[in-house]
Amino acid sequence: MISATEALERLRAGNSRFVSGGQLMESLANPARRNELTTGQEPFAVILGCSDSRVPVEIIFDFSLGHLFVIRVAGNVVAPSQIGSIEFAAEQFDTRLVVVMGHDDCGAVSTTIGELKRPTESRSPNLSAIVDRIRPAVEPLMATETEMKDAALLDQAIRANIRASVNHLRHGSEILETLVRDDGLLVVGAEYSLETGTVEFFDD
């Protein structure tokens, strides 16, 4: 089993390779690697990321088939299906690192801010299910920082949403809570920069 600390260092190193413009460590279409994985998988990290097409997790971290257990949903929100998927990976594969990774200029967070400023009655109930999960992280910022510029508000809201998802995973599942307390599971937040390609991990 790879420890959370070692897994985090692997992700940092992989992102550095990506930022430097190097090639993927292994081709994503590597037939030998694909055959290797037909009997099972041992992902060393779980990534809950955003569905944004500009944020392909395996490429950003320079890893190939079988290395990362990736869950992508708009706004990197946490719902029961995401929690269940993470519980599955942590229990079945002994994966000890979970990263909630958002990114700058997130459309889901921007949409939530717009919804709070100008409610849209005709919004799809399915989209509202995402917006409503982001709303609690954004509302306090809008209530206390009335003079904040739009760009600064979006930046802070994105980070607040990442931290809210991290907190939800740490405290919204008895299974994950137990693994954090007793078995070395680490749940951390991170933000990807569309401009630089760098992933910043949050200390908290």
Domain boundaries, the chain: 4-106+162-201
Structure tokens at 44: 């060393």
Question: In this model, does residue 204 exceed pLDDT 80?
Answer: no
Structure tokens at 153: 């508000």
Q: Residue 73 corresponds to which amino acid?
A: V
Structure tokens at 187: 């749940």
Task: Indicate the helix (H) or strand (E) that contains 49.
Answer: strand 45-49
Express each pLDDT in 43-53 by its tens digit: 999 999 999 99
Q: Given this model, what pLDDT does residue 34 score? A: 85
Per-residue DSSP letters for 125-182? Answer: HHHHHHHHHHHHHHHHHHHH-TT--HHHHHHHHHHHHHHHHHHHHHHS-HHHHHHHHH
Q: Given this model, what pLDDT does residue 165 score? A: 97
Length in residues, the chain: 204
Tokens 């929100």 belong to residue: 77
3-state helix, strand and coil shares in percent for the chain, rounded to the nearest 5: 55, 15, 35
**Separation CA 103–CA 200 (nearest Å):** 10
More confident residue, 36 or 5: 5
C-alpha distances in Å from residue 27, one per residue of 9, 31, 59, 165? 21, 9, 10, 32
**Separation CA 93–CA 137 (nearest Å):** 31
Express each pLDDT in 7-38 by its tens digit: 999 999 999 999 998 766 556 667 888 888 88
Express each pLDDT in 70-108 by its tens digit: 999 999 999 999 999 999 999 999 999 999 999 999 999
Angle made by CA atoms 153, 166, 105, in degrees to the nearest 5: 30
Question: In this model, does residue 193 exceed pLDDT 60?
Answer: yes
Express each pLDDT in 172-191 by its tens digit: 999 999 999 999 999 999 99
The structure's pTM equals 0.91
Superfamily of domain 4-106+162-201: Carbonic anhydrase (3.40.1050.10)
Express each pLDDT in 108-157 by its tens digit: 999 898 888 877 676 678 878 888 899 989 988 887 655 567 788 999 99
